Structure 1
Amino acid sequence: MKRLTVFVLSLFAFGILVFSPNEASSREKQRIAYVDVNVATLWTEPGLLREIDAPSASNPADLNEWIGSMKYEDKLWLVGNLETQALYGSKVTILEERGEWMKVAVANQPTPRNDIGYPGWMPKAQLKDGHSFEKQFKRGFALVDAPKTWLYSDSKLRSKFMEVSFNTRLPLLQVKKDKVKVMTPGNGAKWMEKQDVSVYQNENQIPAPTGKDIVESGKAFLGLPYLWAGMSGFGFDCSGFTYTMYHANGITIPRDSSIQAQHGKKVEQENLQPGDLLFFAHDKGKGKVHHVGMYIGDGKMIHSPNSSTHVRIDEIKTSGYGEEYAGARRYID
């Protein structure tokens, strides 16, 4: 099964050119940092936080408390105020600093808005500066493939340090029979249960998935509450869900549904296969794309629909989306 790495192709589609030596030198001087909480939430502007959002903006962050405390109206308010999320250890480029807030671009979340990564504002306290952490990845990395798992401070796995999400990647230090030792951005070495991770030397070692593999990854999150801008096992939005299922299986696709709909290979509805992405648009499918789901077979899709519900499986034609169907794309050859 040949893997299609959409991120590389998208560089050209988004009009990104080869940089001159001076431009490349300038990029080397950019300030790099790493996410130092289990999930960092990025906002459209600094200082938009409500009191209820405090657990998401602290270090450590408490996503369970934050999401669990919000009612429907509280979640709905987030629409348009959040940009995306970034997982523990994710690399970001600092674009701007304003008081206790940083505007960053999250690596490996392709978007035409910024060729460095997906932009947004996050608390400075949730970042660790420097390039040293990136060097740790030379030994390989542990990829979390459980919906969530714990990092432990001790090798006997008794002292819980932090609960981290599916698709989190941390530098690998040591592998034992039932556990692995990893490095964190700012808190030294920690341990995880081996059964909850896969170990790779580099990204290319992640096995090329089938569409069914990606569907099975998605099914592990059935019932998980929707979160606007969500990118983790604590909560997903529609495109955060599809992006993360692909990324955890070694394929990088654009972050947002409207851009996901522009890449990959166009597929007619009668030729759909499991793993294909399905898009839905305003004006009976002819307007702007506003939603994405993943085909699972038998006329059904798995998706994370909106703030009132959760990851679920629906019939494409009878779910309220059928009349807005706008086409499908395949990201696996």
Structure 2
Amino acid sequence: MLGLASKSVVPVRKEPNETTEMVNQLLFGEKVSVLETYKQWLRIESTLDSYHGWVDSRLIEIIKDDTDLNSLNDYIINDWLVEVKDLSNSSNLLLSPGSFLYKPVNNRFKLYEQEFEIQNSSITTAPPTAENLIKTALRFLNVPYLWGGKSIFGIDCSGFVQVCYRTIGKLLPRDAWQQAKHGQTIEFSNYATAGDLAFFDNEEGQITHTGILISPNEIIHSSGYVRIDKFDHLGIFNNQLGEYTHKLRIIKRLL
């Protein structure tokens, strides 16, 4: 079976139970393959990044198996918050950056068979430039850190990077260590530019954190909340704590 996330934010859990760990989120319109069913739960795989987990079936719009998901032409929201109305019941949804709209025409679009109308925004596209990437990233300032989160109501470090890059049409994997495999390696931090990704490791050498450079010596990242800190060849320096909080492993350029 195939499906689409039909709510603003769909929690993806480790096990088919609302009390288990949230490992990811699906944003409105994200495409999934259904791998297994258990009671009201679906084990899904995202078609964007192959991430697995369990979701409540009431939050997924199931579509016909013979539908080609690639035929659903999509537009990725890059605005701060887009309000849409479900025309079947006149209820409204607030959509976070990185959500998908399908074939919007005159502010109306369909999520498979559900029809929606955009209430407060005009449809624009964001070319894949560092300027547009940073513009989106700055919209997330002060959003609280949330493990598995990908929305403006809570986001983790790799979710932040994934969603910001998605809004300019660059699709990345979900986790920081996976993202670090993409792009061109920048050997020295003083060669870094706005839009480059920096990755940080722990004492075991595992990449556990990432962020987006907004200049060669500043980084925006989700740590406690989305914030801007100083950056250099050693890592991230937190002015409030007066110390380095993350040790630099590698810098990658994707733009």
Both proteins in one fold, TM over 0.5: yes
Aligned residues: 244
Residue 95 (structure 2) aligned to one of 157, 164, 182: 164
Cα displacement (A) at 1:210: 2.0
Per-residue Cα deviation, 1:38-58 (whole angstroms, up to 9, x for no partner): 1111011111427xxxxxxxx
Say whether residues 1:328 and 2:251 are aligned partners.
yes
Structure showing greater Rg: 1
Question: Structure 2, unaligned stretches of length 5 or more?
Answer: none
Residue 115 of structure 2 is matched in structure 1 by 189
- 2:158 equivalent to 1:239: yes
Residue matched to 1:36: 6
Say which of 226, 229, 233 aligns to 1:311: 226
Matched, 1:278 2:248: no
Per-residue Cα deviation, 1:102-145 (whole angstroms, up to 9, x for no partner):
11001112xxxxxxx11011111111212389679858544322
Residue pair 1:136, 1:183 contacting (<8 A) in 2 also:
no
Between the aligned partners of 2:66 and 2:109, the Cα distance in structure 1 is 11
Q: Given the two structures, how large is their TM-score scaled by the length of structure 2? A: 0.86
The whole-number CA distance in structure 1 between the counterparts of 2:78 and 2:123 is 5
What secondary structure, in the 3-state scheme, does the structure 1 residue paired with 2:103 have? strand
Asked whether 1:123 is paired with 2:63, we answer: no
Give the C-alpha shift of residue 240 in structure 1. 0.3
Query: Counterparts in 2 of 1:200-279, with a 5 A limit?
Result: 207=127, 209-267=128-186, 268-279=188-199
Q: Give the secondary structure class of the aligned counterpart of 1:245.
A: helix
- Rounded to whole Å, the distance in 2 between the matches of 1:134 and 1:300 is 45
CA shift, 1:101, in A, is: 1.0
In structure 2, the residue matched to 1:85 is 25
Q: CA RMSD in A?
A: 2.5
Work out which structure has the larger RCO, using CA pairs closer than 8 Å and 6 or more positions apart in sequence: 1
The aligned counterpart of 1:26 is: none
Shift of 1:326: 0.8
Q: Among all aligned residue pairs of Structure 1 and Structure 2, give the percentage whose two residues are the same amino acid.
A: 25
1:107 matched to 2:47: yes
Q: CA deviation at 1:149?
A: 1.7
Are residues 138 and 323 of structure 1, via their aligned partners in 2, closer, same or farther at CA, if it must alter by over 3 Å?
A: closer
More strand, by proportion: 2
- What's the CA shift string for 1:178-225, capped at 9, x where partnerless? xx1111245x222114635326xxxxxx63x22232111100111111
Query: Which residue among 14, 17, 29 is the counterpart of 1:47?
Result: 17
1:152 to 2:119 alignment = no
Q: What is the letter of the counterpart of residue 163 of structure 2?
A: T
Deviation at 1:152, TM superposition (A): 2.1
TM, length-normalised to structure 1: 0.67
Moved more, 236-245 or 163-172: 163-172
1:136, 1:264 → 2: CA distance? 27
Instruction: Supply the AA of the counterpart residue of 2:201.
Output: A
SS of equivalent to 2:121: helix
